[in-house]
């Protein structure tokens, strides 16, 4: 994770004084397992270039965290990407520049705009290229995005979400750093610390002079504060009376930015916030299950934090719900959610959290009335799905199998980049025709029929954002005689 700041033109040699770091000395500090270095690669009267690099200890990143027992803690990008972690690592080294308080002889240069080039990355962002450009171009920057070439041995993603960002424009050192310290976490959409009222003060401090006029201010505020109450508190302090806030709560991490209403062309604060696509999926699935004749035993495969399982618990006639999930952290959250169902009226069956995966056969999954894969298959490499579906249809043999998955064609309605995926963990997304072809292949050897419908707002020529497949096990006597 790094940031390169290059200033050119009159007085550029004074940048080292604004940063309060001597060009002749290498700044090299290690604190709490993180090594931070600042090195000047150029230091003349008309040009200064400084590299800021942070190198954390990957073990320290996860030590003492709630998911410390989960092996997936080591399979992440936090050690490498430029995120809120990076900003916190280098903040103490840049305190003088951020506060605009160099030695008195150089105060005059605090408000001086230099010809600036800022290069930082890699950045892992769920935002498309166009949205990133719209974050920085209103600030006067020309934006360049670079990607590394992908060299997978089999088909995964066509386009990486990881990018290196280069900004060029006339800006003061203080404003450049303040803008980056606020917008880098917005790009990464991740905060490694508890988000409190202090975050509001940070927005005001770093956003002074530019945030109020930014066309994407609402999105910046939402992705920075995340929680509805903090957003409302910010607005009260700013004297803004807004409509109801649809916040981005921590439990929504498996949803794409677009499904959360977070895309650049989707206002985050609306007079009547639209119902989220995730909510529409849950409604559609529960409606189908409620209308089934046989629904006593249900398997929610890939149940995550148990949101869907908790809704299925209210359906009359349901007697058991297996909420199957491989992630230990998600199961803990599901258990907390299920515990809150205790004693509530209308509960037909309490969901049971189960450790499991589609990659491992589990005898207790056999012959259930309903099996549900809600937004699951797209997180699996496509070449493995034939084997998984064979196991489900010929070994588990549920009476009804419900599968939801994104409709790739609808990404154009979201104005996403070509071949971009809605979530960083998606391995593929299929068009309507591709899904039909897959379903025909899966049911060719089995005893299932299928029908496909859409979930979410329909767009002419593109269909619905989510595809719902209902596989029904056919009775043997239908094939006899």
Instruction: Count the residues in the chain.
Output: 481
Domain positions in the chain: 2-193, 277-478
The token pair at 272 is 């009547």
Q: Is 398 helix (H, G, I), strand (E, B) or coil?
A: coil
Rounded distance between C-alpha atoms, residue 201 and residue 218, angstroms: 16
Q: How far apart are CA 473 and CA 455, in angstroms?
A: 23
Neighbour count for residue 134 (Cβ, 10 Å): 18
Task: State the Cα–Cα distance between residues 358 and 393, nearest whole angstrom.
Answer: 12
Q: What is the dihedral of CA 436, 439, 440, 441, to 10 degrees?
A: 130
Tokens at residue 393, please? Answer: 């249809």
CATH of domain 2-193: 3.30.1610.20
Give the integer Cα–Cα distance in Å for 215 and 268. Answer: 12
Query: Which CATH superfamily includes the segment(s) 277-478?
Result: Vaccinia Virus protein VP39 (3.40.50.150)
Alpha helix (H) residue ranges in 153-197: 173-188
User: Going by C-beta distance under 8 Å and a sequence separation of 6 or more, which residues neighbour residue 336?
Assistant: none
Helix (H, G, I), strand (E, B) or coil at 91: helix
- The helix-helix angle for 217-225 and 198-206 (nearest 10°) equals 150
| pTM of the predicted structure, to 2 decimals | 0.56
Q: Provide the residue-wise pLDDT of the chain in tens; the chain has 481 residues.
A: 789 999 999 999 999 999 989 999 888 888 777 888 899 999 999 999 999 888 776 655 555 555 544 555 555 565 667 777 787 877 888 888 988 899 999 999 999 999 999 998 788 887 888 888 999 999 999 999 888 765 555 555 555 677 888 999 999 999 999 999 888 888 887 665 667 778 888 888 888 999 989 999 888 888 888 777 778 888 887 765 444 444 444 334 444 444 444 343 333 333 344 568 889 999 999 999 999 999 999 999 999 999 999 999 999 999 999 999 988 888 888 999 999 998 899 999 999 999 998 998 999 999 999 999 999 999 999 899 999 999 999 999 999 999 999 999 998 888 776 677 788 778 899 999 999 999 999 998 778 999 999 999 999 999 999 999 999 998 644 444 3
Q: Is residue 122 within 8 Å of 164, Cβ to Cβ?
A: yes
Q: How far apart are the C-alpha atoms of 116 and 178, rounded to whole Å?
A: 14
């Amino acid at each position: 994770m790094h940031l390169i700041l290059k200033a050119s033109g009159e007085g550029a040699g004074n940048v080292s004084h604004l940063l309060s770091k001597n060009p002749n000395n290498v700044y090299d500090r290690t604190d709490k397992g993180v090594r931070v270095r600042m090195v000047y690669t150029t230091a003349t009267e008309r040009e200064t270039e400084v590299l800021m690099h942070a190198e954390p200890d990957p073990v320290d990143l996860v030590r003492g965290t709630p998911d410390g027992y989960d092996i997936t803690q080591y399979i992440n990008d936090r050690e490498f990407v430029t995120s809120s972690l990076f900003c916190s690592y280098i903040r103490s080294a840049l305190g003088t520049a951020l506060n605009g308080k160099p030695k008195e002889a150089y105060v005059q240069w605090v408000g001086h705009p230099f010809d600036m080039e800022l290069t930082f990355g890699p950045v892992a962002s769920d935002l498309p290229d166009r949205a990133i450009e719209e974050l920085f171009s209103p600030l006067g920057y020309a934006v360049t995005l670079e990607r590394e070439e992908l060299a997978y041995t089999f088909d995964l993603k066509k386009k990486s979400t990881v990018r290196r960002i280069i900004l060029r424009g006339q800006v003061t050192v203080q404003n450049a750093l303040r803008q980056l310290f606020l917008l880098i976490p917005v790009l990464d959409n991740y905060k490694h610390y508890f988000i409190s009222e202090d975050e509001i003060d940070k927005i005001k401090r770093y956003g002074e002079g530019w945030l109020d006029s930014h066309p994407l201010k609402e999105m910046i505020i939402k992705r920075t504060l995340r929680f509805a109450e903090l957003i409302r508190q910010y607005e009260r302090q700013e004297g803004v009376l807004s409509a109801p806030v649809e916040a981005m709560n921590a439990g929504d991490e498996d949803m794409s930015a677009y499904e959360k209403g977070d895309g650049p062309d989707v206002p985050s604060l609306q007079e009547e916030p639209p119902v989220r696509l995730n909510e529409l999926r849950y409604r559609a699935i529960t409606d189908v299950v409620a209308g089934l004749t046989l629904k006593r035993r249900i398997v929610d495969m890939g149940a995550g934090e148990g949101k869907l399982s908790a809704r299925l618990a209210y359906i009359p006639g349901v007697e058991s719900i297996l909420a199957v999930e491989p992630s230990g952290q998600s199961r803990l959250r599901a258990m907390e959610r299920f515990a809150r169902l205790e004693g509530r009226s209308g509960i037909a069956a309490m969901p049971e959290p189960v450790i499991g995966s589609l990659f491992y056969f589990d005898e207790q999954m056999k012959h259930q009335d309903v099996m549900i894969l809600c937004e699951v298959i797209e997180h699996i490499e496509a070449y493995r799905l034939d084997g998984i579906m064979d196991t489900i249809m010929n070994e588990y043999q549920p009476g009804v199998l419900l599968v939801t998955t994104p409709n790739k064609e609808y990404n154009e309605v979201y104005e996403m980049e070509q071949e971009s995926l809605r979530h960083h963990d998606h391995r593929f997304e299929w068009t309507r025709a591709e899904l039909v072809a897959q379903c025909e292949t899966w049911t060719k050897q089995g005893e299932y029929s299928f029908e496909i419908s859409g979930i979410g707002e329909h767009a002419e020529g593109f269909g619905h954002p989510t595809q719902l497949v209902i596989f029904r096990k056919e009775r043997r006597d239908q094939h006899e005689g």
